[in-house]
A and B are shown apart, each in its own frame.
Chain A
Amino acid sequence: MSTVTGKAAQTAKGPEGRATAKSPAAGPGASQGRQVRRKPLGRQNAAGWLFSTPFLVLFLVFMAFPILATLVMSFTDFGLRNVTHPLDAKFIGFENYVNLFGDEKFLRSLLNTGYFVVVGVPLTIVIGLVVAVLLNNGIDRARTFFRVGFYAPVVTTIVAVAVVWRFVLDPSDGLISGLFSEVGLTGPDFLGSEALAMPSMIAMAVWRNVGTVMVLFIAGLQAIPTEVREAARLDGAGVWAEFKGITVPLLRPTMLYATVITTIGYLNVFEEPFVMTQGGPSDSTLTVSLNMYREGFNFFHMGYASAMAYVLFVVIMAITVLQLRLLKDNTK
């Protein structure tokens, strides 16, 4: 692979980017350009393709091909031996997909992921919005300080953070159970309890992702023209009326974007359960991604895992489209 990319980079970096004939697609495009307009376009055509080549090669090999291959694999019994002999995999039609919907473990993981999204996304968005509004309107001093503080969890390595949270929630030595014992109570075993493991993970996800949403909302708030606010105040609008009548409607595009990316992120949740619970207790934190990883890389049921990946992908697309529709319609 390295040779292919190396070559692509070389071609693109070639002498003065003038190598018109080197790019296969430049030929027809260039002549077409010459017909309609004049020389500069022909040159730009060649350069355009040369500048695009490195990205396109990497994109085709490491993204487009795997995406299609996952689809093909999902209709086969791709297993461990096919890692060395991929073409020997047997075509089995929709069997993987049919099996998925009779697979209690998969349905459980789908449900768990849904739970994570349905509770986690609104919490993240609302808290992020509140923090952004407070930071933007309520204070002048120390704004940067607060913003850095709220954003810090976003950039830190999730595996390390999950290890820390495991300790914070530890029933014997943890911070939270310690606080319980201080008032004479016994703290619950957060990650060891079927009922509490997922909410604990949601709390951690909210903690970690509020910063992203906050920054998006701050940018959105700064784009609202001052005059609009001033006009509202002159009309005697109170703080709440201004928030409801101006801030929220004008932030709608930001809200849409924040909701969509948070939802997509949460639907793919993997690291948190992997490090904190390994999916337990009794599969209560087994997410679709973790389930897929296990089926694919622990048990080498790669065809089956591919079908899982595609079901998750379809769910993500469907929910994204639905969110775009719902939230766009609201603006009208």
Chain B
Amino acid sequence: MAKNLAGDILTVGGKALTSRLFLGTGKFANNRLIPEVVSASGSQVITVAVRRIDPEYKEENIVDYIPDTCIVMPNTSGARNAEEAVRIARLARAAGCGNWIKIEVISDNRYLLPDNIETIKATEILAAEGFVVLPYMSPDLMAAKRLAAAGAAAVMPLGAPIGTNRGLKTKEMVKILIEEVSLPVIVDAGIGRPSEAAEAMEMGAAAVLVNTAVATAYNPVAMAAAFGLAVAAGRKAYLAGPGAVQGYAAASSPLTGFLHE
């Protein structure tokens, strides 16, 4: 059944979002690009690594480049276990970055795959402390359910290993999360092209998060705009309810039509 196209709002942590494209900031050639990229994409949620935030050095403080209209979602990039993620999250809040936190716990430096077990532990602690917790995870149903039970505000499964631009390689697993987890499912990592973002949205993902695909594009601002359009188009297609996929041709002059005459 087609869903309501009007007033399509994503609510996360009590915030109403009209854009379903989240942006990362870690790989740009110049932080001064960030406002332009944000504006072109229409994104309202921008993630920034706490490891890179330096409030003491205004000239190079990445947070100063994020428009005031956006929600800053600090992330715990660099954390190797739950304890480190919790400490980084508390640092972010103490630095005035609000109470949203994207948990990234990675203890594999070859592929940068998230550690779901440590992520669940960190989520339990931080949700109990009042953070709006958005955990980056490997798309595993039981882990997603535990994250939901631990108080996560959304789950953020990877589409492919981070930074690879390989697309939605985990499509089947992400689809299961979308069907079975009550929280918004935000596809984070691996999305390399706007068409892949659109595909994730058509599947019913609540949002997608992109960094490398925009930051390493020849024209990051134009690519950000393309992602903004693709995410909106994918969402609209999802809400419109795509037609069924047939395994055979549906003839316009059916052979058994006479039975209805």
A binds B: no
